[in-house]
Structure 1
Amino acid sequence: MSAKTELTGVDLNEEQQELAAMVREFAEEVVAPQAYEADRSHTLNLGVVRQMGEMGLFGLPFSEEYGGQGGDYLALGLAIEGLARVDQSLAITLEAGVSLGAMPIYRFGTEAQKQEHLPALLAGEALAGFGLTEPEAGSDAGATRTTARLEGGEWVLNGSKQFITNSGTDITRFVTMTAVTGETDGRKEISTIIVPNGTPGFTVEPAYDKVGWNASDTHPLTLQDVRVPEDNLLGERGRGFKNFLSILDEGRIAIAALATGAAEGCLEAAVDYAGKRTVFGSALSTRQNAQFTLARMRARVHTARLAWHHAARLRDAGRPFAEEAAIAKLVSSEAAMDNARDATQIFGGNGFMNEYPVARHYRDSKILEIGEGTTEVQLLVIARSLGLAG
């Protein structure tokens, strides 16, 4: 499937098409050759991350004032989609580095915080994490138990976080933590606080042994009497939960783009394999059942891409997009999982071998129905947009 075919059915201008083509070439020539070994060894290739930074990918949706590219969320999605075709781990490294690492600083930080943190983050020279999920607070993020109290001009944090991406690399600068900072009218006051890596009491625990995204950096975190300056508060006190919900809305568009790329990677691999695989004297691709499977896979990619493009354009136009982002994540994550399953079936026994990309996509894609809001959460968002109470 050519780059031209890849872009069929979407309305991209010349600059956007050039970006998509550039990332696609980089993915095939640089990312794909290292993907198997990085997955096997559970190692994030920081050399490739640096190259992504040099290409300007981490700065795509940010203003030039802080070292960004002056682009938008659609541009970011195109880059993430292009990477995810061949390596979801590097795609999520970019997605989390932008949506969860730099974007909270850009959206809610003081000018001093922006000047201090954004240049390195947007250049891909540093990464940051988003410390929201806890052992007892996943989809129910309001159940946050990590606490932060003011004492002598410092925040003192205690608690734990889990499943935090980009939190323990050699270039991770900080993790922005949600924490309970008080109580208002009987409800938790949740704020967000920047906690630099290496702060005494802040422990990045050993990396998880995961089913997929093995080359993505993911750790549990422990905070024991961690002290940071009062000025490390990010945004207005008590608005941390609301602010992070808006960040998650945007992140769902990026995850939808990633899932679309994964679904397309499975389609491309399956089409190629079916054309080469001989079964009972003829190519597998000549069998109608295989053709119908591949046709359904193509339809899923097309639908997923239209969904995330629509949500991204709404976001970039400053219009409400939460429902559309939820729809895009729902449709695309299911497309990625369904295409991974169908591609593995097309490959037969070879699809069960990790040396083939479809096996990696099969393991990687399940998390797309869980991370940054489960399928059930997306359905809840959509149901609420219909006026359904519950």
Structure 2
Amino acid sequence: MTILLKRLLLGLLLALVLVPVIQARFHFSKEANLAGAFTVTPHPELSWAGLRDNSYQPAFEQYLEDRIGFRPYLIRLRNQLSFSLFRVARSSDIVVGEHDVLFQPGPIESYLGHDLLAEEEVRFRVRRLRAVQRELSRRGVRLLFVLAPSKARFQPEDLPARLQPAPGTVTNYDRFVREMQADSVALLDLVPVFARWKTTQPYPLFPRGGTHWSGYGATLAADTLLRHLEHLGGVRFPGVRTVGPPRVVRAADSLRGTDNDLGWPLNLMTLREATPLAYRRLVFDAPRPGQTRPSALFIGDSFGWGLMLFGPYMQREFADDTRFWYYNTAVHQPDSTYHDTGEKVGNLDLRKQLESRKFVMLLLTEHNLVENEFGFTDQVYHLYHPLTATDQAAIDQLAQKMAGETTWEEQTKDLEGFAQRNREKARIRYERQQTR
């Protein structure tokens, strides 16, 4: 009996070793690919130099590990055990909150005020944004700053206890909204709007397994945006109608768009049951007399996808030349998929792109407020307020001075002083514009 047991154990061990090897060679069992972004190690080049300096061996080991049989299954098994037993996600970009609600760390950090900008910096940036708004308005273009709600601010009750903000926490959201309202920047702040809808709408506005507004919340936000633009630009958009009750989805594999964009990268053994989410059944009418599809330019982060993936708002309510500049870098044509045109914003004629539009919208969420509108505001400001010869000479002089300095402290001090002087000049220039 003991010998038989030993043989069985030996056979089991051999199977554990050989079956993954056979699977890697012949793929006799179909395996589902892992979700998320990762890089598969290429086959390293065998050389005497690589063998001598020990660079070939670990590279080849990683190459084999990436291709071992049943690797996706084993990773899912590990992830499932970690999630089920300890409520820990095997990803540095996912935080598991109460009731298994998933969050991203970035929005949490912003909600806690960890990326807080100085009041002077916020004030300067808002003044520049207002100056850009005035310049575009003179050319018949309406600029609107749209703030999308972050999941952390929308449902803080589901954040882990260790990640709750201290009483009186000040955030960039607080400072930017206050300054924009004080300086008459055209602003659509959807944060308080979603806070009101939270207690009145019958379906979730954020999915449990996603970081963006839900399909239902995105279409409500789009309706609100259209009404706001009608008031701002004096236009009437083609009608959008809801037909019948929404389609309610409970299975995770039936979710659409970004509604499970944190759930899929968990790579679990079984798909998690989703909180029932709703998708409105929408009909987009053709333009009637007095209605128009204005040309628009959207510049923003990934919350912009919701305005085209869950309903063709960008595609049907705006002109065909409407574009989405994702992070002010890649040019996307509105579509039901991520339609990257291959163009880069930096290669376009900025003046032509702006002045051919009726609306320009900056759409971003709280944790991207630190990103300076992805450089867009500064680009437009300098388009209409190019550097003078004096400004360029001052920049060249600063560059020469910094080239001769050896310490980071000296260079930082020079940059801070230069920035302060230019902010003061911008303030004076702005105040002069206000009196015209």
Pairwise same-fold verdict (TM > 0.5): no
TM-score normalised by the chain length of structure 1? 0.26
Q: Which has the higher helix share?
A: 1
TM-score (norm 2): 0.24
